Amino acid sequence: MMKILVCVKQVPEFDLEAEIKINDSGQGVVTNHLTAFRMNRFDEYAVEEALLIKKSFSDVKIEALTVGPEDASAAVKRAMGMGVDHGIHILTREENPLLAGQVAQWISIVAKTKSYDLILTGVMSEDQMQGQVGPMLAEFLDLPCATSVISEKLAPENQSVIAEREIEGGYRDVLELKLPALLTIQSGINLPRYPSLSNVMRAKRAKLEIIAADSLSQQETATVSALDYPGKTRAAEVLSGSQEEKAQQLYRILQEKAIIP
């Protein structure tokens, strides 16, 4: 049997309805009942890729894992709704910041006991935007790793996977990695499916494997973070008035700048 692990993350969605605000400590953002949470989009591609592998090879088991506080389990449930077989939640305390190195280490401790053949993660998370957990996890597990993977083909007969990394300028870096291996998945590799009703029902009933992060290792950090709202790099003139007035102002501005005749 081939075992695949997909790491997923729950991220807040800030938009018009749920405006982003820095909390009182200045170290995090405010999330409350208004905040919509969803699975990190890049992880959806990773889940889908695992499901596609399961479809083309017989005897594949897919597990999804997340690290985070209580609510984060929704991302695992979502993955199960898409068709993942089993869910694992490394439970952190609400006040624990999720630092990439720490998260990768926690996952590695759990993964070591499970002997996965392939580990997939999204290329980065939309909230922290670091792209570090995947390659760090590979390092902790001493696995070959390819990031920004835009195409992948398993060759179980060779105990390997052929991966194409998307690099700049329309090129791809084509590699063969010995299994077990870790790939971070770039958007565009597939079209992630929506959860199916039957899978969602099954996910609802399913019990997640819950592991307390504290029981794995203690958190230590060398970094202190303070959040701020971004400054402006240009004039950022905000137009006002009706739509038509704004359009007229825009026309005039572009004329003044000699961008249009």
Residues of this chain that bind ligand FAD (CB under 6 A): 15, 123-124, 148
| Residue among 61, 163, 161 nearest 115 (CA) | 61
Q: Which is nearer to ligand FAD, 15 or 237 (CB)?
A: 15
User: Is there a contact between 169 and 139 (Cβ–Cβ < 8 Å)?
Assistant: no
- d(C-alpha 202, C-alpha 249), whole Å: 56
Q: Does 47 bind other proteins (CB under 8 A)?
A: no
As measured in angstroms, the least distance from the Cβ of 166 to ligand FAD is: 8
Q: Choose among ligand FAD, other proteins, none what residue 222 binds, the Cβ cut-off being 5 to 8 Å by kind.
A: other proteins
Residues 97, 126, 124, 72, Cα dihedral to 10°: 50
- d(C-alpha 155, C-alpha 177), whole Å: 10
Stretch that binds other proteins, among 51-59, 81-89, 100-108, 198-206 (CB under 8 A): 100-108
Stretch that binds other proteins, among 49-57, 112-120, 127-135, 195-203 (CB under 8 A): 127-135
Angle at 232 between CA 230 and CA 235, to 5 degrees: 165
Stretch that binds other proteins, among 69-77, 84-92, 126-134, 198-206 (CB under 8 A): 126-134
Considering only residues 52, 114, 127, 209, which one is a binding residue for other proteins as defined by CB under 8 A?
A: 127
Q: Choose among ligand FAD, other proteins, none what residue 34 binds, the Cβ cut-off being 5 to 8 Å by kind.
A: none
Considering only residues 67, 107, 175, 213, which one is a binding residue for other proteins as defined by CB under 8 A?
A: 175
Q: Choose among ligand FAD, other proteins, none what residue 14 binds, the Cβ cut-off being 5 to 8 Å by kind.
A: other proteins
Task: Determine phi and psi for 174, rounding to 5 degrees.
Answer: -95, 125
Coil, strand or helix at 36: strand
Task: Determine phi and psi for 93, rounding to 5 degrees.
Answer: -80, 150
